[in-house]
Chain A
Amino acid sequence: MSDNHIDLFFKEHLSDYTTTQHTDWSTLQTKMQRKTLSVRLRSTAVAAVAMILLFWGWKQFEPTLQQKQFGKVIYPISNLTTVENTKPVFVAKTPNTTEKNMAESNKTNTTVVIKRTVIVRDTLRSAKNK
């Protein structure tokens, strides 16, 4: 602690200095309520923006019409066995065992791709034509 005369003089007079010139509790209470409200509004606004972004993001990744075809059996699998070396034919999102086996067994006649849950086979057009 400083022992300078000026420092001591001011410390003595000001360290416990009080003044009654302050607003009453209700003013602070109103400020606190306003602050709580603004915090709530801000979090609501943030949530709304997040929802909008989520919706926008979902719209960005929403499947196109072409993508929507993905996973659909656009030609009965039973007909594929007779079809050979043609254009893509069958896109199965979740091939079942029969489809997988069929794809495997037809390797010699068709191009079969099994990639995760997708099977692409070259056959549709010719199958349709037949």
Chain B
Amino acid sequence: MKYNNEQALIEACKKKKQAAQQQIYEQYAPLFKGICLRYAHNPADAEDVMHEGFIKIFSVIKQYQYKGSFEGWLKRVMVNHAISSYKKNKKFKNFYSTDEIQLADDKTPDTDEQTIIEKAIAAKWDGAKVLEIILALPQPYGVVFNLFAVEGFSHKEIADMLEIKENTSKSIVRRARMKLQQEIEKKLNDEQ
């Protein structure tokens, strides 16, 4: 059975109809796998996080009150779930325990930011290639940068989510940008 109307689909899902759950899964799994890849250690973990996220969605879907878009609500549940899975990783706490975080090769890139990005845009990379660059970052940098730049959370929200200081979040984003710039430059040079 295929639900053509979003409200009917949601209501059926609230009643735990398998056909509705399957439709939601098939519709959103490609997007959510992309989200989970940004927060998990590897593709296999990302798959697990996504599955658990869907189970969470199906168990809390009754709370959805049609305020805001359904996709936005689903995304929020999935991101929150991905973050809580990430937080279970013991390494992450040790990483954030220092206030000022240093990258091993923390140096200012040679070319300025705008020029690099213009070149990257001209190279017409697809999402997978751009994702590779982010995944090259040490995971805590990638996570904080994603939350700030891609998901659009404020430093205050990130600090609350990850139980870190607001300044730590700012510092991580600043250094992540520097590292990303280096990675983009490296990738552009490799392609030439």
Contact = CB atoms under 8 A, between A and B. Distances in A.
B120 A19 contact: no
Contacts, number: 91
B121 A9 contact: yes
Contacts of B33: 18-19, 21-22
Nearest to A1: B152
B177 A4 contact: yes
A2 interface: yes
A11 B180 CA distance: 13
A65 interface: no
B54 interface: yes
Query: What size tier do the contact residues of chain A reach?
Result: 20 to 34
A10 B113 contact: no
Query: What size tier do the contact residues of chain B reach?
Result: 35 or more
Contacts of A25: 22, 25-26
Contacts of A35: 55
A31 B18 CA distance: 14
A31 B30 CA distance: 18
Interface secondary structure of A, over-half rule: helix
A22 B147 CA distance: 22
B127 A14 contact: yes
A25 B24 CA distance: 10
Interface in B9-30: 18, 22, 25-26, 29-30
A6 B182 CA distance: 11
A107 B50 CA distance: 82
A35 B55 CA distance: 9
A32 interface: yes
Nearest to A27: B51
Contacts of B114: 5
B148 interface: yes
Interface string A23-42: 10101110110010000000
B55 A5 contact: no
10 contacts: A5-B113, A5-B117, A6-B180, A10-B145, A14-B150, A15-B150, A16-B31, A18-B127, A19-B128, A25-B25
